[in-house]
Amino acid sequence: MTPREILLATLLFVSLSAHAQTTPPPVAPTASPSSFFTHWKNFYGQDWHPDPNAPASPAPPRRGLPSPLDSPPFPSIDWSYGGSPVIGEPDTNSYPLMTAINGAKSRIKIYGWLDPTLNFSTSSNRNTPVGNDLFSNRFELNQAVLYVERLPNSVQRDHIDWGFHLTALYGTDYRYTTNKGYFSSQLLKHGRQYGFDPSLEYVDIYFPHVAQGMNLRIGRYISIPGIEAQLSPNNYLFSHSLLYVIDPFTDTGALATIKLSNRWLIQLGITAGHDVAPWTSDAKPSGTACVSFTTQSAKDNIYACANGINSGKYAFDNLQQYDATWYHKFSKTIHIATEAWYMYQLDVPAVGGPIQPQTNTNGAYCRPGQIRCTAPEYAIVNYLNKQLSPHDYITLRSDFLNDKKGQRTGFQTRYSENTLAWNHWIGSTIQIRPELRFDRAWDSAAYDNGTRHNQFTAASDLIFHF
């Protein structure tokens, strides 16, 4: 099927199923294909039209501070850190596909989502440097994702446990996970609108007797600092902040996450560098070090990282990143998430100089006469989130980026962005996330192929979980 056919089929299925009557609870599946699809359909019926008299399931045991948030509606119940499952958090997720396959009795889980999107923009071609709704005035399939995973049991402290994760991602968002050396010719050579990427491929080994638990992750994983992530359901909004769009995407290496106490956590790792496979010429041994602190009340969390640190010499996305995130909960329904980073590369080729930058990257606007120079940038973003109901919240995101030498966006300018968004859940399997967004480039015209200082977009996605 074409992406358009997939989108139309998904939306038709959602429209018809959302008006179905309440169905009985799922029954144990059999080998019959008809029973498989009936069981799958019944999951959605029960999810969208739950029995109000059904007894609530008891909360499973948890080791650590209480969770500060509700999910749904928010992406996570915990203040997030990357590169590891939350140590001490039980795996309570139940998915439609696995319920249909074996009654969700297996620790190995297969699940995913479809994420069709629509955007309207004052720009006529691309919304650069906006992320996710990159292509202006389009109806697209941003993500069709399939996960296969097993989470280690990090609640217990008796024995070593293990897990793994495999991801297949197809859609326009493949460009936000592409690493040089992993099927990267689709983007770096051919510039395709749609592509495939095996975004996350790793194993986890949990050691219960190291401090209060240590998870060792080996493989390819999301670059760990920050509020946002590449996979759609992990984000507050449909679109991404400017801060996110130009920072590192995924890394390949090994990362140890050590829970020192309920309040303190540290991470130490080594990677091949940002957005490159270890076998490419751009790979460089790079260090990662992070620390996370949570107050006893769990109302505040600070997460700081030095990410991908090496000599800093110019190579493909060889960003030296220093990142800090602060989460604060004002009340039961209001919290903020604030992130800031500083990044740079050394010896970046000058725009118009004799040295050409690598394919799909930009040169730096160096001083006259320089053929290379240091290219720094800094950014800050804040999310103000208000929960309206168990299925709804609104977010105001404000974002500032200074691309001091134009190396990350192609324009030497300061940017700002403000977005107002609403997130609505149908059960726990469908998300609708409309938003209104205004971007401005302050020092030069950077939008609509460098012809406009301002850009306005109205956009939404619909995430259908399976």
For residue 361, what are its two tokens?
């990257």
Residues in the chain: 466
Helix (H, G, I), strand (E, B) or coil at 455: strand
Q: What pLDDT sits at residue 97?
A: 94
- E strands along 173-319, which residues? 195-197, 201-207, 214-222, 250-259, 264-274, 286-294, 300-309
| Helix/strand/coil percentages in the chain, nearest 5 | 10, 45, 45
| 390-440 pLDDT per residue, tens | 999 999 999 999 999 999 999 999 999 999 999 999 999 999 999 999 999
- Which residues, other chains included, contact 434 with Cβ-Cβ below 8 Å and sequence gap of 6+? 238, 421, 422, 458, 459, 460
**pLDDT category, 32, cuts 50, 70, 90?**
low
Q: What pLDDT sits at residue 168?
A: 98
**pLDDT category, 54, cuts 50, 70, 90?**
confident
| 360-396 pLDDT per residue, tens | 899 999 999 999 999 999 999 999 999 999 999 999 9
Question: Is residue 315 domain-resident?
Answer: yes
161 or 103, which is more confident: 161
pLDDT at 20 over 70: no
Question: Is residue 54 domain-resident?
Answer: no
Q: What pLDDT sits at residue 364?
A: 98
Q: What is the pTM of this model?
A: 0.90
61 or 408, which is more confident: 408
Q: What pLDDT sits at residue 26?
A: 42
| 116-125 pLDDT per residue, tens | 999 999 999 8
Q: What pLDDT sits at residue 8?
A: 42
- Could you give the CA distance from residue 269 to residue 256 in angstroms, rounded to a whole number? 6
| 186-234 pLDDT per residue, tens | 999 999 999 999 999 999 999 999 999 999 999 999 999 999 999 999 9
Question: Is residue 18 domain-resident?
Answer: yes
| CA–centroid distance for 453 within its chain | 28
- Could you give the CA distance from residue 175 to residue 191 in angstroms, rounded to a whole number? 9
pLDDT at 53 over 90: no
Q: What pLDDT sits at residue 132?
A: 87
pLDDT at 17 over 80: no
* C-alpha pair distances (Å), 413 with each of 124, 139, 160, 262, 347: 21, 30, 50, 42, 20
Residue 29: asked if its preceding bond is cis (omega within 30°), the reply is: no
Q: What pLDDT sits at residue 184?
A: 96
Q: What pLDDT sits at residue 55?
A: 84
pLDDT at 77 over 60: yes
Domain ranges, residue 163 = 3-48+72-465
Q: What pLDDT sits at residue 93?
A: 86
The predicted model gives 57-64 an average pLDDT of 86
- Could you give the CA distance from residue 237 to residue 73 in angstroms, rounded to a whole number? 12
Question: Is residue 57 domain-resident?
Answer: no
pLDDT at 6 over 50: no
* C-alpha pair distances (Å), 155 with each of 64, 268, 322: 9, 21, 31
Question: Is residue 460 domain-resident?
Answer: yes
Question: Which of 92, 103, 94, 106 is CA-nearest to residue 36?
Answer: 103
Question: Is residue 61 domain-resident?
Answer: no
The predicted model gives 436-450 an average pLDDT of 97
Domain with residue 377: its CATH number is: 2.40.160.10
Give the chain's domain count: 1
Question: Is residue 190 domain-resident?
Answer: yes
Neighbouring CB atoms inside 10 A of 69's CB total 20
| 268-298 pLDDT per residue, tens | 999 999 999 999 999 999 999 999 999 999 9
Averaged pLDDT score across all residues of the chain: 92
Question: Is residue 59 domain-resident?
Answer: no
For residue 87, what are its two tokens?
């140590």
pLDDT at 2 over 60: no
Q: Could you report how far apart the first and last alpha carbons of the chain are, in Å?
A: 18
Q: Check if the beta carbon of residue 413 is closer than 8 Å to that of residue 441.
A: yes
